[in-house]
């Protein structure tokens, strides 16, 4: 069982996923700072100094923090945009795959079967 576990962990997919999760967690702090410290104040200036994080309402003991949700949506859109740009840049840098050489033109399957049928008739 230990050897199977080593084989599982050594696979490229698992290691790639682990690296992606670690980098994603570190990237989250950067995006959070970008949104909270730069973008939200900019949006606040545009919409008249409104701070989204203060938006919300309460019903009984439940508090609905709509502003925090708006912040989360903004963060998601920024992360999605950056990931899109990164994937696009990486795809540009990767060597293009050469087109597979075309198979030599020969008789189709139907033509071969008809030829076999005709040969059998003779």
Whether the Cβ atoms of residue 88 and residue 49 lie closer than 8 Å to each other: no
Give the model confidence (pLDDT) of 34-59 as tens digits: 777 887 778 778 877 666 777 888 89
Structural domain of 110: 2-121
Total domains in the fold of the chain: 1
Burial class (CB in 10 A: 0-12, 13-18, 19+), 101: exposed
SS3 62: strand
pTM of the model: 0.50
pLDDT band per the 50, 70, 90 thresholds, residue 1: confident
- State the alpha helices, DSSP H only, in the chain: 2-10, 12-33, 40-46, 66-93, 109-121
């Amino acid at each position: 069982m230990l050897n199977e576990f080593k084989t599982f962990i050594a696979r490229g997919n698992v290691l790639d996923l682990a690296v992606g999760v670690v980098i994603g967690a570190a990237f989250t702090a950067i995006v959070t700072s970008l949104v909270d410290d730069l973008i939200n104040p900019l949006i606040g200036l545009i919409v008249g100094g409104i701070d989204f994080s203060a938006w919300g309402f309460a019903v009984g003991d439940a508090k609905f923090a709509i502003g925090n949700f708006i912040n989360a949506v903004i963060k998601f859109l920024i992360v999605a945009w950056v990931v899109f740009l990164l994937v696009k840049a990486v795809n540009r840098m990767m060597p293009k795959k050469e087109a597979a050489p075309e198979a030599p033109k020969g008789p189709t399957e139907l033509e071969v079967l008809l030829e076999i049928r005709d040969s059998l008739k003779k």
